[in-house]
């Protein structure tokens, strides 16, 4: 059975300072000594959770996407995280899944954080991205999506499940960290899959961030947790563990059928 190694980068972000953030992240990635296959960065890793896309959004031909291509190629890794992207007259909080060969997929955040007025500045996405790597299927989501379990739920058939891992990239404030930790565990248990939640630390113009990045196994057991400090953590996960849990406890076969109206 296949293993998969991923590296979580829990980092402080300089407010609306793309050059500083890209330089700092490059240094952290280049310093990774362990063999890794996927590097996961937080939400809006170039700016922090800014509501100024008119000033900071780039196109898919811009500097940050090229930076991701270079990092992925030079380090022979997949790199993912979200940034502000402009397409025509719309702005998106877009997660990019960049492969070493320069090919990529992307996911536009579905649930915009109206409490922080994200919905006034960005356009919501309407489709999920489930990436495939080494026989793993990975559902890629962003921050506030975590509060909406249907969007992250397995849509399984009688014979197979839809994905083996959920990855959430986030700028999730410290004062709501209990919800963050609880909901990540819930998503792992209900979907019988691995979950990785990658959050930032530090402070922006409004909020404190405590990180609390987590990796959780398909039974809801925490494999990694880090709060209040920067960390670069590499972990190898086993696909066999997902299959074993689903075979021993085939709860997924009893799930309700549902559709999502977009």
Determine contact, residues 252/116, Cβ cutoff 8 Å. Answer: no
Which of the residues 18, 37, 43, 69 is marked catalytic? 43
Is 43 an annotated catalytic residue?
yes
Task: Provide DSSP, 104-172.
Answer: EEEEE-SS--GGGTGGGTSPPP---EEEEETTEEEEEEEGGGGG-TTTTS----SS--S-SEEEEE---
User: Which residues are CB-contacts of 200 (< 8 A; sequence separation ≥ 6)?
Assistant: 10, 11, 12, 13, 42, 43, 45, 48, 170, 171, 209, 211
Is 127 an annotated catalytic residue?
no
Which of the residues 18, 143, 181, 193 is marked catalytic? 143
Q: Pairing relation of β-strands 194-198 and 201-203? A: unpaired
Which of the residues 18, 109, 118, 181 is marked catalytic? 109
Is 203 an annotated catalytic residue?
no
């792992």: which residue's tokens?
188
Q: What are the residue numbers of the active site?
A: 43, 109, 143
């Amino acid at each position: 059975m296949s293993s998969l190694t991923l590296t979580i980068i829990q980092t402080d972000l300089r407010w609306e300072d793309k050059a500083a953030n890209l330089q700092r992240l490059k240094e952290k990635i280049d310093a990774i000594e362990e063999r890794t296959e996927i590097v996961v960065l937080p939400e809006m890793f170039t700016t922090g959770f800014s509501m100024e896309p008119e000033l900071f959004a780039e196109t898919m031909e811009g500097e940050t996407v090229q930076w991701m291509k270079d990092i992925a190629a030079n380090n022979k890794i997949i790199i993912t995280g979200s940034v502000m992207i402009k397409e025509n007259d719309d702005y998106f909080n877009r997660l990019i899944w960049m492969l070493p060969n320069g090919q990529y997929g992307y996911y536009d955040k579905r649930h915009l954080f109206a409490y922080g007025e994200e919905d006034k500045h960005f356009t919501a996405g309407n489709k999920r991205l489930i990436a495939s790597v080494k026989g793993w299927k990975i559902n890629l989501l962003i921050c506030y999506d975590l509060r909406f379990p249907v969007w992250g739920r397995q849509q399984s058939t009688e014979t197979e499940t839809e994905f083996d891992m959920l990855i959430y990239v986030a700028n999730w404030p410290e004062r709501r960290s209990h919800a963050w930790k609880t909901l990540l565990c819930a998503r792992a248990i209900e979907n019988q899959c691995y979950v990785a939640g990658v959050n930032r630390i530090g402070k922006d113009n409004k909020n404190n961030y405590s990180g609390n990045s987590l990796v959780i196994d398909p039974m809801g057991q925490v494999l990694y947790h880090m709060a209040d400090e920067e960390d670069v953590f590499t972990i190898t996960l086993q696909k066999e563990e997902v299959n074993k849990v689903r075979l021993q406890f085939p709860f997924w076969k009893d799930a309700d059928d549902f559709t999502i109206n977009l």
